[in-house]
Every structure is written in C-alpha cells, then in structure tokens.
C-alpha cells in the first residue's frame, strides 16, 4: 500500500467516524446506512439546490463512481 493510499484510507475512515459520531449514519452489518437524522440533513441540502446543480451532481457521481443518483424534480408551473 502506498503512502497516498494509506493517507486516503485514514481520511475516509475519519470522515465515516465523524458522520457516525454525529448520528448521521449507522452500521448495518458491514455497510453504513443513513439514519433518519442523516436523511433529513441530506434532504435539506437537496432542497437548497437548483435542478441544474442536481443534474451536475448526478453526472459527477455517475462519471466518477459509476453510481447514478435518482431524484424527482417537481415542476412549479
């Protein structure tokens, strides 16, 4: 393992630990899942975003991680 990989792994572990400490995620078997508090926090952030920013975020995740995001955009007309 390279130093960069080890540093990245420690950083990711510390981020997950902080989210767990804040009550935003919890461990379910070997995975982490959002708690109700975490879901509410995410929804609050999504509500602040414009449809264009949400589309850019989805494109980023799909391109970077191969994970498509899904969401409903309610029309206001």
Domain count for the chain, please give it.
2
Q: Indicate if 71 and 45 belong to the same structural domain.
A: yes
Task: Say if CB 45 and CB 54 are below 8 A apart.
Answer: no
Residue 46: what pLDDT? 85
Q: Is the pLDDT of residue 71 over 70?
A: no
72 band by pLDDT with thresholds 50, 70 and 90: low
Note down the domain range covering 1: 1-34
Q: Indicate if 46 and 12 belong to the same structural domain.
A: no
Q: Which residues contact 3 (CB under 8 A, 6 or more apart)?
A: none
Residue 25: what pLDDT? 93
Query: Around Cβ 61, how many Cβ atoms within 10 Å?
Result: 13
Residue 7: what pLDDT? 87
Task: Say if CB 35 and CB 26 are below 8 A apart.
Answer: yes
Q: Indicate if 24 and 46 belong to the same structural domain.
A: no
Q: Indicate if 10 and 40 belong to the same structural domain.
A: no
Per residue in 11-64, pLDDT tens?
A: 888 998 999 999 999 998 888 899 999 999 988 988 888 889 888 888 888 888
Q: Indicate if 46 and 69 belong to the same structural domain.
A: yes
Query: Regarding predicted confidence, which is higher, 4 or 70?
Result: 4
């Amino acid at each position: 393992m390279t130093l960069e990989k080890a540093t990245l792994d420690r950083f990711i572990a510390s981020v997950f630990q902080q989210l767990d400490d804040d009550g935003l995620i919890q461990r379910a078997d070997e995975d982490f899942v959002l708690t109700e508090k975490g879901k509410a926090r995410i929804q609050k952030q999504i509500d602040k975003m414009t449809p264009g920013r949400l589309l850019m975020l989805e494109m980023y995740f799909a391109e970077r991680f191969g994970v498509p995001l899904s969401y409903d955009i309610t029309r206001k007309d």
